[in-house]
Amino acid sequence: MKKFLLSLFVAVALVVPAGAATYNPSTRVEEVGTALMQKSAISASNVKFMVVSGAVDNSAYVTNKTVNVSTNELTFAGNDNEVAAVVGNELGHIIAGHASKGKVVSLLQASTNTSVTTNEAAATLVSNYSNLKQEKEADLVAVDLMVNAGYNPLALIVVLTKQTGTYWETLLGQPSNAERALNVYNYVSYAYPAKLKAGYGCNEYRTFVAYAEPIIATRESSKKLSNKNTKAQAKNKKSVTNKITKFRVRGGMSGWDAAYGILKGGAQ
C-alpha cells in the first residue's frame, strides 16, 4: 500500500509542473518591473514597486518614484510574462504621462473657468473614450517594454481576455477587452512579427486568435484598409519609441509631467 501511494505521488508530481499551484504574481512584481525599466535603459534607481488593493493611482510617480500595481489585475497573471503585461501597462501610463495630462487639462480649465462639456451623458462618453484611448496607448508602450526585457508581448492579450467581459462584449460574442486586445495584436504583428509567429500557448490566446483572424482577413482583402493599418502601426511605433526615449532622457519624466510642473509653478 505504501509503495502504491508513493508511486501515485511521484506520478502526480511528474504531471503537475513544479510551482504551478504556488505561483504568486505579487512576489514577482519588483523583479519583473525593474527588468522592464532597465532593459529599456530607463533608470530604476530608487524606484519602488508596490502591490495595492483595488484601483491604483500613479499620479505622484515623479515625486515619490513609486509604481503601484493592483492585486485585481495581478489576479489574471499566471506567470512572469503576464506579470510583465500588468506592470508594463502601469509603466505605460506613467511613461505616457496620462495622469499629468489630466492635471494639465484641469489647471487650464480652472484658469479659464471652462469645462469640456456640461452635459452629463456627453461627459461620460468623452471620459470613456479618453480612458480607452489611454489604455490602448499604455498597452503599446507595455509591448515595447516587454519585448526589450525578453517577455512575450502576447501575454498582454491573454491578461486582457482573461478578465470579465462587458455586457456588450458578451452579447456580440467578443472576448473581454476585445478592442484593446486587437490593438495589441495589430501592433505586435507590425512591429514584432516573429513574436506573433511564435504565438502563446494557452486557450485564452487561441480563443482570441479565432476571433481576430476573420477581422484581419477582411482587412487584408482590402488594399485600402491594409495600407491604412500599416500607416497607423508605423505611427504607433514611432510614437511609442518617442515616449520611451523622452521619458528616459528626462530622467523619468514625461512631457506632460514637465508641462504640469511649469503650469503649477506659474499658478502659485
DSSP 153: T
Write out pLDDT tens, residues 140-166: 999 999 999 999 999 999 999 999 888
Q: What is the mean pLDDT of residues 233-257?
A: 93
pLDDT at residue 97 tops 90:
yes
Give CA–CA dist 215/226, Å, rounded.
12
pLDDT of residue 10: 43
Phi, psi at 231, each rounded to 5°: -65, -40
pLDDT digits (tens, 9 = 90+) for 165-224: 888 888 888 899 999 999 999 999 999 999 999 999 999 999 999 999 999 999 999 999
Question: Is the pLDDT at 18 greater than 60, yes or no?
Answer: no
The terminus-to-terminus CA distance of the chain in angstroms comes to 80
Question: CB under 8 Å to 189, separation ≥6 — which residues?
Answer: 196, 216, 233
Relative orientation angle of helices 178-191 and 155-162, to the nearest 10 degrees: 170
Phi, psi of 173 (to 5 degrees): 70, 30
Question: Which pLDDT value is given to residue 130?
Answer: 72
The predicted structure's pLDDT at residue 85: 98
Distances (CA, A) of 73 to 64, 83, 156, 163, 182: 22, 9, 11, 9, 19
Angle of helix 80-96 relative to helix 223-249, nearest 10 degrees, comes to: 80
Confidence class for position 136, pLDDT limits 50, 70, 90: very high
Q: Is the pLDDT of residue 42 over 90?
A: yes
Q: How far apart are CA 177 and CA 163, in angstroms?
A: 8
Question: Rounded CA gap, 234 and 243, in Å?
Answer: 14
Nearest alpha-carbon partner for 76 in 9, 134, 158, 197: 158
- CA gap 124, 120 in Å, rounded: 6
How many whole angstroms separate alpha carbon 230 and alpha carbon 220? Answer: 10
